[in-house]
Amino acid sequence: MTGPVRCAHDVVPADLWNKQVGLRMRDYPYDSVMAARVLGQGYAYLLTAMSHRHEGLGPAPGKRFVIGAG
């Protein structure tokens, strides 16, 4: 795949997506909408981390979000 991924559905097969949404609904008090949102955000984090590996980025907020940073 070339270019940025805009939606997890672009890279996750529908049957796998549906299974994972179902597992979240089984294991957490989520309806299907919230389960899909949580899953989508998990994939967003994973895909972003994969696309920026070896760049020396740490899992921390930027300087403008650090208290006392100018």
Predicted local distance difference test score (pLDDT) of residue 52:
74
Question: Using one digit for the tens of pLDDT, what is the confidence trace for 36-67?
Answer: 999 998 888 888 877 777 777 666 555 554 45
**Residue 2 tokens, joined:** 């070339």
Phi-psi region of 69 (alpha: psi -120 to 50; beta: other; left: phi over 0): beta
Output the DSSP codes for the chain.
--S----GGGTS-HHHHHHHHHHHHHHSS--HHHHHHHHHHHHHHHHHHHHTTTS---SS--GGGSTT--
Predicted local distance difference test score (pLDDT) of residue 66:
47
Question: Using one digit for the tens of pLDDT, what is the confidence trace for 2-38?
Answer: 566 677 778 889 999 999 999 999 999 999 999 999 9
